Amino acid sequence: MHKTFLTTGNGHSEIIIPGRFEDISLFSSKENTLLLVDENVLKAYRKELSGFNVIPISVDEKQKDISQVLTIFEEFLKLEVDRSWIIIGVGGGITTDITGFVASVYLRGLKFGFVSTTLLGQVDAAIGGKNGVNFKSYKNIIGNIRQPAFVICHTDSLKTLPASVFREGFAEIIKYAFIKKPHLFDYLEMNILAALKHDPDVLEYLIYESVMAKKEIVEADEMESGDRKLLNFGHTFAHAFEKLYGISHGSAVSAGMVLAAKLSVNLGFLPEDVISKLEKLLLKAGLPVKMQYDTDELIRTMRLDKKRKGKDIQFILLEDLGKAVIKSIPVSQLKSLLNDLR
**DSSP track, 33-85:** EEEEEEHHHHHHTTTTTTTSEEEEE---GGGSBHHHHHHHHHHHHHHT--TT-
| Distance (Å, whole) CA 90 – CA 80 | 21
Residue 125, interface with ligand NAD (CB under 6 A)? yes
Contacting residue, 15, 16, 28, 64, with ligand NAD by CB under 6 A: 64
| Distance (Å, whole) CA 133 – CA 87 | 17
| Distance (Å, whole) CA 52 – CA 47 | 11
Contacting residue, 249, 262, 274, 317, with ligand NAD by CB under 6 A: 249
Contacting residue, 15, 41, 86, 171, with ligand NAD by CB under 6 A: 41
CB 44 within 8 A of CB 37: no
Q: How many residues does the chain have?
A: 342
Give all strands of the β-sheet with 53-57 in edge-to-edge order. Answer: 2-8, 11-17, 150-153, 111-116, 86-91, 33-38, 53-57
Residue 59, interface with ligand NAD (CB under 6 A)? yes
The least CB distance from residue 326 to ligand NAD, in Å, is 18
The least CB distance from residue 227 to ligand NAD, in Å, is 15
The helix/strand/coil state of 86 is strand
Contacting residue, 89, 113, 121, 148, with ligand NAD by CB under 6 A: 121
Catalytic residue among 249, 262, 279, 307: 249
The least CB distance from residue 283 to ligand NAD, in Å, is 19
**Is 235 annotated in the active site?**
yes
**Is 214 annotated in the active site?**
yes
Residue 254, interface with ligand NAD (CB under 6 A)? no
Cβ nearer to ligand NAD, comparing 69 with 329: 69
Residue 35, interface with ligand NAD (CB under 6 A)? no
- In angstroms, the Cα distances linking 148 to 101, 153, 159, 209 are 10, 13, 25, 20
Residue 167, interface with ligand NAD (CB under 6 A)? no
**Is 183 annotated in the active site?**
no
| Distance (Å, whole) CA 117 – CA 125 | 11
Catalytic residue among 215, 229, 239, 243: 239
Residue 196, interface with ligand NAD (CB under 6 A)? no
Of the candidate spans 37-45, 73-81, 286-294, 325-333, the one that interacts with ligand NAD by CB under 6 A turns out to be: 37-45
Would strands 2-8 and 11-17 be described as parallel, antiparallel, or unpaired? antiparallel
Burial 207-228 (b: 16+ CB within 10 A, else e): bbbbbbbbbebbeebbebeebb
Catalytic residue among 154, 228, 262, 307: 228
Q: Of all residues in this chain, which one has the CB nearest to ligand NAD in the complex? A: 93
| Distance (Å, whole) CA 313 – CA 322 | 22
- In angstroms, the Cα distances linking 269 to 220, 262, 323, 341 are 25, 10, 11, 15
The least CB distance from residue 172 to ligand NAD, in Å, is 7
Residue 298, interface with ligand NAD (CB under 6 A)? no
Phi, psi of 66 (to 5 degrees): -65, -25
Residue 120, interface with ligand NAD (CB under 6 A)? yes
Cβ nearer to ligand NAD, comparing 111 with 175: 175
Residue 222, interface with ligand NAD (CB under 6 A)? no
* Catalytic machinery residues: 108, 130, 172, 214, 224, 228, 232, 235, 239, 249
Q: Which residue ranges make up the site for ligand NAD (CB under 6 A)?
A: 38, 40-41, 44, 59, 61, 64, 91-95, 97, 117-118, 120-121, 124-125, 128, 130, 139-140, 157, 160-161, 165, 168, 249-250
